[in-house]
A and B are shown apart, each in its own frame.
Chain A
Amino acid sequence: MDERTRDKDVSLRERLASGGFAVTAEISPPRGASTQPITKTAANLKDWVDAVNVTDNQGSNVRLASWAGSLALLEAGLEPVMQMTCRDRNRIALQSDLLGAAALGIRNILVMTGDHPKFGDHPGAKPVFDLDSVQLLWALRTMRDQHVLLSGRKLDPAPDCFLGAVENPFAPPVEFRAGRLGKKVAAGAQFVQTQFVFDVPAFARWMAQVRDLGLTEHCAILAGVGAVRSVKALDYMQSHVPGVEVPDHIFQRLRAVPPEKQKAEGIKLAAEIVQQVAEIAGVAGVHLLVAGNEQAVPEILQNAGTPVIDGR
C-alpha cells in the first residue's frame, strides 16, 4: 500500500465533507475489564480506515462500554465512532453519555435503536427504548446546535459531535426505508452506515430513492460490507442476526468452494461488493462489518483496489 497518498490527519467528518471515499470498520469490545484487545486491533486497522465503530453491547450481550472502547481508540491514535443504542438507557442517561463522550474528545456518535434484549445474554433485562433512534438523533442535534437538553435547560458548553445513523435498505416495508432514512436526516443524521449489503441491485434501488429524496446532499451514505468466513457463519447470520437476508447466489457461491477456501472466497466477495457499491452514485464510502474478523480489513481493501486506497 502506498501510504503517501493518505493524509492521516483528516477526520471522518472532513473526509466525507471533501467528497473523499471513506472507510470505517466495526470492532466489538471485549467481555472483560481491559481495553487491551481494542488497542491491539486498532494497531492493525490504523493504516486502513478513517474511523472505527465501537459497538454498544451488540446483540444485547454485555461488553466493555462503548465510551471506554472509544477512549482506548483515541489513545491509540484512531478516530472512534461511538455507537449508542436506545435499548439500555433512558433520555437522562443518553444525554449525559453524549456530554461525557464529547468532553473526552469522542466526536462521532452512531445512533441506533438497538437489538431487543431477548437476543442477548440477559434476555430477562428490562428493554428501555425510552427514545427511538429518530428522537435520540433529534435530541443530540438540539444539544449541539441549540445548546439545550430535551428538557429545555441550557448547556454550557454544548457538545461538538458528528451524528450518524443506521438503516436497513432491505427490510420491509422496503418502499418506506428511504423515507425512514429521510426522517433520520431531518432529525440530524450526517452520515449513515447500512446493514450488510449482499444484494447489490436491491441496494442500488434503495440508493436511487435516497438520491431522489435529496438525502445525499445532507448525509453521507456508507454501505455496510461484511467478510463472510464460512457457509456456517453465513447460515448463522441468516438465522440469528435480525434483519439480515442473504440471497441464494451468495450461499451458492460460498458452497461451491471447499471449506478451507471459504474464508478467502468471503474476502474476495467483500472486495467485489466494495467495488460495486463504490460505483453507485451517492455512495460516500463503505463500512466494514468485520467485528471479530478485523484482520480481514487490509485484504478486502487491497483486493478492492484503487477506489479505496488512491486519493485517500
Chain B
Amino acid sequence: MTAASPVPVHPRLGARVAYRLQQVLRPNAGYRWLAARIEGQGPARALFTVAERETKTQMFGCRMCGQCALPVTGYVCPMGCPKELRNGPCGGVGADGSCEVYPDRRCVWVEAYDRAAAAERAGDLLLLHHPIDHRRWGQSSWLNYWQGRDEDLWTSEPGTRT
C-alpha cells in the first residue's frame, strides 16, 4: 500500500463492455484448469499477475487488493475510495457527487451507482461485502476468482435480514 490515501478513479472501460466481458470470463472448468496450470508455475503466475495488474490499473485504477469487487460495483473500483469502503458511500459525499477527501474527483460510489443503474444492475450494490483479507494484496484476483476462492467476498442475496 502506498502512503497517500487512495484516489477515486474514473474507469476507462464502459460498463456495458465490462458486463459483457463478465459473461465471457465467468468461471468454468476450462478457466479453472487454466488457473491451476498458471498457479502451478512460478514464472507463469508472476507474468499473469503483472498482466492483470497492468490491464486493471489502466482500465480501473486497480490497486491489486487481490479480491476484486468490480463485478458487483458497476465496474468502478471501491478501493479507489480514500476510506476503501466496499459497502457503499460514506455520508460525506458532496451535493455535486464529489469525494469529500478529493473534491475534484467524483465519489466512486456515485459513479458505481450511475453505471450499475444504467445497466439495470443497481441491485448489485445491495450485496453485503465481507471484510477483505489483507494478506491477499498483490495477488491475482482473476486466479482467485477462477479457482472459486472469491465466492465468499459478498453475500449471494441483497441486504435483506440476514
Contact = CB atoms under 8 A, between A and B. Distances in A.
Interface of A: 86-87, 91, 112-113, 115-116, 118-119, 127, 129-135, 138-139, 150, 166-168, 170-173, 175-176, 179-180, 182-183, 185-187, 195, 218, 242-243, 245
A195 B95 CA distance: 14
B6 to A, nearest CB: 9
Contact of B92 (A115, A130, A175): A115
A154 B107 CA distance: 38
Contacts of A180: 87-89
B114 A187 contact: no
Given A118-B101, A186-B128, A132 B87 contact: yes
19 contacts: A113-B83, A113-B90, A116-B100, A118-B101, A119-B100, A129-B83, A129-B84, A132-B87, A132-B129, A134-B88, A134-B129, A135-B129, A171-B91, A172-B110, A175-B122, A176-B89, A180-B89, A182-B126, A185-B159
Nearest to A241: B92
B136 interface: no
A176 B122 contact: yes
B89 A187 contact: no
A171 B107 CA distance: 11
Nearest to B122: A176
B118 interface: no
Given A173-B89, A180-B89, A182-B159, A116 B113 contact: no
* Max count, chain B CB within 10 A of own CB: residue among A115, A176, A195: A176
Interface in B92-108: 92-97, 100-101, 107
B82 interface: yes
Contacts of A173: 89, 93, 97, 109-110, 113-114
B93 A171 contact: yes
A218 B162 CA distance: 12
A135 B84 CA distance: 12
B130 interface: yes
A187 B162 contact: yes
Nearest to B101: A116
Contacts of A127: 5, 82-83
> Number of contact residues on B: which range applies?
35 or more
B125 interface: yes
A132 B85 contact: yes
Contact of A243 (B93, B96, B109): B93
Given A183-B159, A243-B93, 6 more contacts: A116-B101, A133-B87, A135-B86, A168-B92, A173-B93, A185-B161
Given A113-B83, A135-B131, A218-B161, A171 B92 contact: yes
Interface in B124-158: 125-126, 128-131, 134, 158
A150 B152 CA distance: 14
A243 B122 contact: no
A166 B113 contact: no
A187 B87 CA distance: 11
B23 interface: no
B108 to A, nearest CB: 11
Contacts of A116: 5, 82-83, 92, 100-101
**Residue with the highest number of chain A CB atoms closer than 10 Å, among B86, B87, B107, B109:** B87
Nearest to A242: B92
B87 A134 contact: yes
B44 interface: no
A150 B133 CA distance: 12
